[in-house]
Chain A
């Protein structure tokens, strides 16, 4: 009796979670199929009312839009480069933190913690000032640098948590067999650490893909403007009406990479998130 009651409760709970998570996503997809005329005239309701559906037109429009294409390209490029570089640097640091005894370890950990809490907006104006002096304002590099530094804390935590779980005796065994510590690291530990590195990479990518503050303030053209900034500035053919359904289509397109990553790597992300912030 108690068991079935529990079971019903869990089923209801699951339904609630699914509704919570998916309803707004379903809404934005539904919105992306409303026609733009319907939006201008007002079309309340969750689904496009009959006769006002737009089919794939909004998607065709948004994929034809130059600004949007550039933004997608920028976002993919910038996020991937920052992810790769950030994970490389974080791997080195996390290895040192998990494995080596050295002075200044506390300092590294404290710095990482402070940066994870840093209010990014307060950096916007000095960074703008510095970037224009260095000539990297409105370039990919101008975004890659801040993305790297702000993803490092999370990457370092996630990785060092993973590294602690690795059976280090194997490294020692390799060292006893005459390998240098670097060789031991590369040949033995890297393959074992790969899943952790991968998780860190996903979380880093999410951060870079999601960033808005740097995206709007350190760019000013489609040269480097990433997706979130482009969406917020998005203009359709009619400058006086925010093209809600077109925007929704753009938002859906921008969400596809996230959904793909989540679908394929769900297990790794959950592991990374939980080990990264709270160790077991």
Chain B
């Protein structure tokens, strides 16, 4: 991976000197990045861990009581916590699955297209680059029964249907916005993976009389495995942290709340730093669990994700 430093053979002392110097330089170069990443994540996380052991409200800072692990017990024994977790997992599974299918189709088209490549790639980057909040607003207004167009365009929907009146339709609206915005990202990652599938192998399969489906299953998908897995890992963890769309579109009404939103409300809206910190820790742990499960279940090559 790293090109060996060119040194004449036999000059052992100089080589080890050089290796040492390289070691020092390397560490110095990564130091700023490491420090910065730690200051903003590890340190606050430790503080959250500490605060989670207290009953502590910002509006009554003087009544801070040590309560041990009882905040965790309160959170874990609360049905709201589990309902929101289940909702988040549901959003994650559905959006990633849909994105994978649509994203793959888009990638196939982009891979084959010979004309107007620039136009297609430019437009696919627009949802990727657009602010999530803007996407949330666009879809919220699109689904609105007073100012939107969705009811008018869907023949089986009454014009007065209020999408944000109940869970099912609200969550569909939220997921529509999420899927719209992130499918391009998925399709670009898959496009890169498609580039790795050798044309020769496809030709060979074709000559052997493989059908389109057979080629897809036997040649294309196995060769793209790594790309698909990394894309799924990144998108799944991203979807698990869903917050912006829910905040903008329903503010958590009709039980559409996600686990991030629950944590946000405890800490930022209710100022309950104690239990809020416990939720922060639980959120962090649950992300680790989800990541671990995806890595194990789908045998994702982490070295690949880590860029080694």
Given contacts A42-B147, A157-B307, 7 further A-B contacts (CB under 8 A): A39-B147, A44-B152, A100-B25, A124-B268, A149-B41, A273-B189, A280-B192
Chain A residues within an 8 Å CB radius of B263: 121-122, 124
Chain A residues within an 8 Å CB radius of B188: 270, 273-274
Nearest CB in chain B: distance from A35 CB, A: 11
Q: Are B33 and A278 in contact (CB under 8 A)?
A: no
Chain A residues within an 8 Å CB radius of B193: 278
Main secondary structure of the interface of B (DSSP, over half): helix
Q: Are B287 and A105 in contact (CB under 8 A)?
A: no
Q: Quick one: CB contact mask for A251-280 with B, threshold 8 Å, 1 for yes? A: 100110011011100110110011101111
Segment among A57-65, A111-119, A189-197 that sits at the interface with chain B: A111-119
Q: Are B26 and A96 in contact (CB under 8 A)?
A: yes
Known: A89-B36, A126-B280. A104 touches B264 (CB 8 A): no
B2 CB contact (under 8 Å) in A13, A101, A255: A101
Q: CB of A123 within 8 A of chain B? A: yes
Q: Are A244 and B116 in contact (CB under 8 A)?
A: no
Q: Are B40 and A17 in contact (CB under 8 A)?
A: no
B277 CB contact (under 8 Å) in A31, A126, A251: A126
Main secondary structure of the interface of A (DSSP, over half): helix
Q: How far is the CA of A39 from the CA of B131 in the complex (A)?
A: 23
A92 CB contact (under 8 Å) in B30, B147, B192, B244: B30
Known: A104-B30, A168-B3. A266 touches B307 (CB 8 A): no
With CB as the reference atom, state the residue of chain B lying closest to A44. B152
B226 CB contact (under 8 Å) in A6, A16, A112, A278: A278
Nearest CB in chain A: distance from B28 CB, A: 8
- In B238-291, the 8 Å CB interface with A consists of 240-241, 243-244, 247-248, 260-261, 263-264, 267-268, 273, 276-277, 279-281, 283-284, 287, 291
Chain A residues within an 8 Å CB radius of B113: 10, 13-14
Interface residues of A (CB under 8 A from B): 6, 10, 13-14, 16-18, 20-22, 24-25, 27-28, 31, 34, 39, 42-46, 89-90, 92-93, 95-113, 115-130, 145-146, 148-150, 152-153, 156-157, 160-161, 164, 168, 172, 176, 181, 206, 209-210, 212-213, 216-217, 227-228, 231-232, 244, 247-248, 251, 254-255, 258-259, 261-263, 266-267, 269-270, 273-275, 277-280
Q: Are B106 and A17 in contact (CB under 8 A)?
A: yes
Interface residues of B (CB under 8 A from A): 1-3, 6, 19, 22-27, 29-30, 32-34, 36-41, 43-45, 47-48, 51, 102, 105-106, 108-110, 112-113, 116, 118-135, 137-139, 141-142, 144-149, 151-153, 159, 180, 183-185, 188-189, 191-193, 195-196, 226-227, 230-231, 234, 237, 240-241, 243-244, 247-248, 260-261, 263-264, 267-268, 273, 276-277, 279-281, 283-284, 287, 291, 302, 304-308
Q: Are A248 and B141 in contact (CB under 8 A)?
A: yes
B44 CB contact (under 8 Å) in A99, A126, A280: A126
B280 CB contact (under 8 Å) in A121, A145, A172, A232: A121
Q: How far is the CA of A100 from the CA of B112 in the complex (A)?
A: 39
Nearest CB in chain B: distance from A136 CB, A: 12
Chain B residues within an 8 Å CB radius of A145: 36, 39-40
Q: How far is the CA of A95 from the CA of B133 in the complex (A)?
A: 35
Q: Are A118 and B147 in contact (CB under 8 A)?
A: no
Chain A residues within an 8 Å CB radius of B125: 262, 266, 269-270
Q: How far is the CA of A243 from the CA of B1 in the complex (A)?
A: 56
Q: Are A24 and B306 in contact (CB under 8 A)?
A: no
Q: How far is the CA of A136 from the CA of B24 in the complex (A)?
A: 33
